[in-house]
DNA sequence: ATTGCGGTTTTTGCCC
DNA sequence: GGGCAAAAACCGCAAT
């Protein structure tokens, strides 16, 4: 192999390698950026929620209790599904279906 | 006090009481609704993020590692280095490498 | 079938049914009790572990880092190195150091 | 400073350093070992519990349902405390204490 | 057989 | 710093 040919091969190799790294690196970065952005928004919402709690606290509400209420309301929504699920479960366990 | 005046006072009292209850009850509900709504949105974003991880996994990336990177990028550089150093220190202290 | 014979049959049936219910009920309870007991012990050990972390923290160790070390030691050496390499790879891919 | 004195100093320094490293390294290892041991036991118990579930399943019980039962029993125990706690919480929220 | 998924436990970060 | 809520790792199951 001539010196020139060898050089070309090396370059070609490098290029390929770089391309491979680039495409996956690029892609990875893209995912990371999208995730970061959504995480940002999520964090923003968390802030907003915190602010509401703070505001409520400011007018005399007990934050901890409000949290409990929020949770209870969610439960009241989820609970139904949960209980239905449990019922189904037990029914199937006894061979009722 | 005449009967009419007394009546008025009672009514007034009731009204005030109701108003007080109303305003705080209303207010509390308002807070709860706002919180619920934001929580909903937050949950939606969490879903989106999960989807991205799934997508990345689909093209061969390691999700666990991506999560680590996300955290590292969020973390302050100095703090990150500190933690890394501390880990290395402990590792060498117990002969782990 | 005479009345007496029928009576006997019923009784026999009841007895069998009860026995069946008893044996499975008994058995189920036995399982539940054994599980409860073991869960108790497990919880106790979790407490003990927590205490050790607290103690270590008391003399100046960083709990978070210790946790990492515990995990690393549990992990197979090869797997550990693989993960570390993968992390380094991703880090360099996104220009993190 | 004579050569001998310098030597002694070095040795002393080394010794001190080693001692310091030793004591903390030793101590760290000691914590790690204790944790490991307890984790082992904990894992063992988890195994035992798993075995019981397997055994129950082997004689025809539905594992998922048993798990639910176990949880319900725990709740029945914990629930009381939980409810008491919640009561206290609301009481304090209303200024009753 | 492999991989996605639900649920459980463990870990981390946060607020008081 | 201690308790609490959110996130993440882990595990068994199921479905393909």
Q: Could C49 and D55 be called an inter-chain contact, meaning their C-beta atoms sit closer than 8 Å?
A: no
Residue B40 is inside which H or E element, if any? helix B3-58
Q: What is the pLDDT of residues B74-84, one digit of tens each?
A: 999 999 999 99
For residue D31, count other CB atoms closer than 10 A to its CB.
21
Q: Could A38 and B59 be called an inter-chain contact, meaning their C-beta atoms sit closer than 8 Å?
A: no
Cα–Cα distances (Å) from A70 to A48, A62, A65, in that order, read 15, 12, 9
- Is residue B53 a contact partner of residue C72, using CB atoms and an 8 Å limit? no
As a whole number of angstroms, the distance between CA C96 and CA C89 comes to 10
For A34, the closest of B31, B34, B52 (CB atoms) is B52
Q: What is the pLDDT of residues A9-21, one digit of tens each?
A: 666 666 777 776 7
Identify the segments of chain D with pLDDT beneath 50.
Answer: none
Chains that touch A (3 or more CB pairs under 8 A): B, C, D
pTM for this model (two decimals): 0.83
The candidate with the shortest Cα–Cα distance to C92, out of B30, A21, D88, is: A21
Per-residue tens of pLDDT for chain A, all 97 residues:
555 555 566 666 667 777 767 888 999 999 999 999 999 999 999 999 999 999 999 999 999 999 999 998 888 888 888 888 888 888 888 888 7
Nucleic chain F contacts, Cβ below 7 Å: A 42, 64, 67-68, 71; B 46, 64, 67-68, 70-71; D 50, 63
Q: Could C93 and A21 be called an inter-chain contact, meaning their C-beta atoms sit closer than 8 Å?
A: yes
Q: Could A64 and D90 be called an inter-chain contact, meaning their C-beta atoms sit closer than 8 Å?
A: no
Q: Which nucleotide is nearest to B39 (CA to C1')?
A: F6
Nucleotides of E under 7 A from a protein CB: 4-5, 7-8, 10-13, 15-16
């Amino acid at each position: 192999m001539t010196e020139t040919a060898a050089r070309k091969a090396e370059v070609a190799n490098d290029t390929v390698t770089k391309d491979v790294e680039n495409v996956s690196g690029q892609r990875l970065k893209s995912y990371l950026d999208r995730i970061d952005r959504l995480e940002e928004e999520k964090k923003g919402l968390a802030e907003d929620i915190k602010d509401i709690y703070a505001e409520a606290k400011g007018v005399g509400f007990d934050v901890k209790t409000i949290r409990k209420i929020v949770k209870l309301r969610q439960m009241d929504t989820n609970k139904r599904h949960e209980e239905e699920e449990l019922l189904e479960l037990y029914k199937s366990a006894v061979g009722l279906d």
